[in-house]
Structure 1
Amino acid sequence: MYLELKNKELNVEAQKKIIVYYKGLKVGEYYADLIVEDLIILELKATDCIVVEFENQILNYLKGTDCEVGLLLNFGTKPEFRRKIFENNRKLRI
């Protein structure tokens, strides 16, 4: 996926660290699979199905960045995807 997006001349970052803060203190970090053009987070899976934990994972990534759109792509036995949106005006910035 990374190579295909790069071949399309898109700005793609792999395994980008997302630091999570609570009341100004660092409380954790995530690593997004791919961030495209600093706009879209792609989370790639290869499992039997998409579970709610994966959907929550991408929502947490969106909350911790300026990205508003996340795509959860599952390349498992039954390919499927979910699109998640979390607008910046809903994000609590401390």
Structure 2
Amino acid sequence: MTEDEIAKIIVQAAYNVHVQLGPGLLESAYEACLVFELRYLGLEVTSQMNLPVNYRGVQLDCGYRIDILVENKVIIEIKSVAELNDIHLAQTLTYLKLSNCKLGLLINFNVPKIKDGIKRVINGYL
């Protein structure tokens, strides 16, 4: 599956979760439900994956964690905030760079319509 095909499935799954839960919950609730939904759809999903920093050839644990990694290709960063801002985008971009993934989805569930809370982030582009 390509990153774009995976992303389409993720967007639909996020929609399903948002319809069921609505806005206003903690990030952890949306994360758990989205992981469940994606696994239910048959995708390989890893949550809270440790992401080390490679410094001078040494892998250092600096506390970075990917919220959700799908099919070892697409990173999902979950938020439940009043609005997304540049720091959220920078965080997702950093995770893409450190993991060498090409595509990330920054998803804010604290919105009336989930389509307004989803941003595609591509490694190497702002």
Report the TM range for the smaller structure's normalisation: 0.7 to 0.9
Unaligned runs of 5+ in 1: 88-94
- Report the equivalent of 2:65: 31
CA distance in 2, matches of 1:71, 1:77: 15
Overall identity of the aligned pairs, in %:
32
Aligned in 2, Cα 1:56/1:11: closer, same or farther, shift over 3 Å? same
| 1:50-73 Cα deviation digits (max 9, x unpaired) | 011110001110011131100000
Letter aligned with residue 45 of structure 2:
V
Compute the RMSD of aligned alpha carbons.
Answer: 1.5
- Report the equivalent of 2:17: none
Letter aligned with residue 88 of structure 2:
F
- Report the equivalent of 2:123: 86
CA distance in 2, matches of 1:77, 1:9: 27
List, as ranges, runs of 4+ consecutive aligned residues in structure 1 with deviation greater than 3 Å.
none
Unaligned runs of 5+ in 2: 1-33
The answer to which structure has the higher strand fraction is 1
1:6 lines up with 2:39 in the alignment: yes
CA distance in 2, matches of 1:27, 1:33: 16
TM-score by length of 1: 0.84
SS of 2:99's partner is coil
Q: Count matched residues.
A: 87
Which of 52, 59, 78 is the equivalent residue of 1:19? Answer: 52
* 1:21/1:28 contact within 8 Å kept: no
1:66 lines up with 2:66 in the alignment: no
CA distance in 1, matches of 2:92, 2:106: 7
* 2:79/2:107 contact within 8 Å kept: yes
The answer to which structure has the higher helix fraction is 2
1:43 lines up with 2:77 in the alignment: yes
